[in-house]
């Protein structure tokens, strides 16, 4: 494995909104991370965590990949935006307590304007999910949010 990074070193999310537990491996165009479903997991109800939250888990894995690219270049993680999700399919409606989800994100397309497309996969014992995520990471998120781009 390459250099070990903590999730907090790679994603701009903090506190309870940082949902990833660990970045376990990465390469030039991919990253693998995990999320453990526990009694204290964000979004948990009496059936577990709704599988729709899997989209956010995958998006945060993409954020970790982007943060990794920034760190490798000597920078800091930047704010990015999830623009769209295509074909999110999951074999379950809920992620039960005790499951560890493996998140795999692979860069499919990277444009000079900050638009990126990732193929993503979420797996655990008896669970399979996948989606294509379109994300945007502007050079200056503050200017972008103010409409000054």
Residue 9 backbone phi and psi in degrees, to 5: -80, -15
> Domain total for the chain?
1
What's the rounded Cα separation, in Å, for the pair 73 and 15?
Answer: 26
- Tell me the three state secondary structure of residue 110: strand
CATH number for the domain spanning 86: value is 3.10.129.10
pLDDT tens readout for residues 85-130: 999 999 999 999 999 999 999 999 999 998 999 999 999 999 999 9
Within a domain: 48: yes
Within a domain: 84: yes
Q: Which of 115, 102, 116 is nearest to 54 (CA)?
A: 102
Q: Which H helix or E strand runs over 57?
A: helix 54-72
pLDDT tens readout for residues 36-87: 999 999 999 999 999 999 999 999 999 999 999 999 889 888 889 999 999 9
Within a domain: 67: yes
Predicted TM-score (pTM) of the model is 0.92
Within a domain: 2: no
Range of the domain at 77: 7-145
Within a domain: 60: yes
Within a domain: 37: yes
């Amino acid at each position: 494995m390459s250099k070990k990074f903590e999730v907090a070193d790679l994603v701009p999310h903090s506190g309870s909104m940082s949902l990833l537990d660990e970045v376990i491996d990465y390469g030039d165009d991919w990253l693998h991370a995990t999320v453990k479903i526990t009694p204290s997991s964000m979004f948990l109800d009496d059936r577990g965590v709704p599988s729709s939250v899997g989209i956010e888990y995958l998006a945060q894995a993409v954020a970790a990949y982007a943060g990794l690219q920034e760190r490798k270049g000597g920078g800091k993680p930047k704010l990015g935006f999830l623009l769209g999700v295509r074909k999110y399919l999951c074999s379950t409606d809920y992620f039960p307590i005790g499951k560890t989800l493996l998140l795999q994100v692979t860069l499919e397309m990277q444009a000079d304007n900050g638009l990126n497309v990732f193929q993503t996969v979420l797996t655990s014992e008896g669970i399979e999910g996948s989606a294509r995520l379109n994300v945007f990471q502007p050079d200056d998120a503050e200017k972008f949010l103010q409409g000054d781009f």
